[in-house]
Amino acid sequence: NKNNVERIRTRLSSKGFKVRTESVQLASGPATRVQVGPYGRKAQAETMRKRIESDLGLKGSVLATR
Protein backbone atom coordinates (compact mmCIF):
# COMPACT_ATOMS: atom_id res chain seq x y z
CA ASN A 1 0.00 0.00 0.00
CA LYS A 2 1.00 3.63 -0.37
CA ASN A 3 2.04 3.97 3.28
CA ASN A 4 4.42 1.02 3.00
CA VAL A 5 5.93 2.36 -0.21
CA GLU A 6 6.53 5.78 1.36
CA ARG A 7 7.99 4.25 4.55
CA ILE A 8 10.43 2.09 2.56
CA ARG A 9 11.33 4.97 0.26
CA THR A 10 12.05 7.24 3.22
CA ARG A 11 14.20 4.62 4.97
CA LEU A 12 16.27 4.02 1.83
CA SER A 13 16.64 7.72 1.04
CA SER A 14 17.75 8.48 4.59
CA LYS A 15 20.62 6.00 4.10
CA GLY A 16 21.73 7.80 0.93
CA PHE A 17 20.24 5.49 -1.68
CA LYS A 18 18.86 6.92 -4.92
CA VAL A 19 15.26 5.65 -4.91
CA ARG A 20 12.49 5.62 -7.50
CA THR A 21 9.15 3.87 -7.72
CA GLU A 22 7.32 2.22 -10.59
CA SER A 23 3.64 1.29 -10.77
CA VAL A 24 3.13 -2.17 -12.24
CA GLN A 25 0.24 -4.52 -12.90
CA LEU A 26 0.70 -8.03 -11.47
CA ALA A 27 -1.61 -11.02 -11.80
CA SER A 28 -2.74 -10.27 -8.23
CA GLY A 29 -3.47 -6.63 -9.06
CA PRO A 30 -1.68 -3.26 -9.08
CA ALA A 31 1.58 -2.90 -7.17
CA THR A 32 4.45 -0.47 -6.74
CA ARG A 33 8.09 -1.46 -7.18
CA VAL A 34 10.64 0.41 -5.11
CA GLN A 35 13.94 0.55 -7.00
CA VAL A 36 17.43 1.63 -5.94
CA GLY A 37 20.20 2.55 -8.32
CA PRO A 38 21.20 2.35 -11.08
CA TYR A 39 24.62 0.82 -10.63
CA GLY A 40 27.14 0.37 -13.42
CA ARG A 41 28.02 -3.22 -12.64
CA LYS A 42 26.09 -6.22 -11.36
CA ALA A 43 28.64 -6.72 -8.57
CA GLN A 44 27.96 -3.17 -7.29
CA ALA A 45 24.23 -3.81 -7.35
CA GLU A 46 24.66 -7.08 -5.42
CA THR A 47 26.80 -5.32 -2.82
CA MET A 48 24.10 -2.67 -2.33
CA ARG A 49 21.35 -5.33 -2.18
CA LYS A 50 23.24 -7.11 0.61
CA ARG A 51 23.81 -3.80 2.43
CA ILE A 52 20.10 -2.94 2.25
CA GLU A 53 19.22 -6.38 3.56
CA SER A 54 21.68 -6.25 6.46
CA ASP A 55 21.21 -2.57 7.40
CA LEU A 56 17.46 -2.22 6.85
CA GLY A 57 16.12 -5.78 6.83
CA LEU A 58 14.60 -5.30 3.37
CA LYS A 59 14.88 -8.10 0.84
CA GLY A 60 15.25 -7.38 -2.85
CA SER A 61 16.48 -8.57 -6.21
CA VAL A 62 19.00 -7.27 -8.71
CA LEU A 63 17.42 -6.55 -12.09
CA ALA A 64 19.05 -5.62 -15.37
CA THR A 65 18.03 -2.25 -16.77
CA ARG A 66 16.81 -1.88 -20.30
Distance CA 49, CA 59 (A): 8
Angle 5-11-22 (CA atoms, 0-180°, nearest 5)?
35
pLDDT higher than 80, residue 66? no
Instruction: Map residue 8 onto helix, strand or coil.
Output: helix
Residues 22-33: what's their mean pLDDT?
A: 95
Instruction: Map residue 3 onto helix, strand or coil.
Output: helix
Q: How far is CA 51 from the centre of its chain?
A: 12
Tell me what pLDDT residue 14 has.
96
Amino acid making up residue 50: K
Q: Tell me the residue length of the chain.
A: 66
Residues 35-51: what's their mean pLDDT?
A: 95
pLDDT higher than 80, residue 65? no
Percent of the chain exceeding pLDDT 90 equals 91
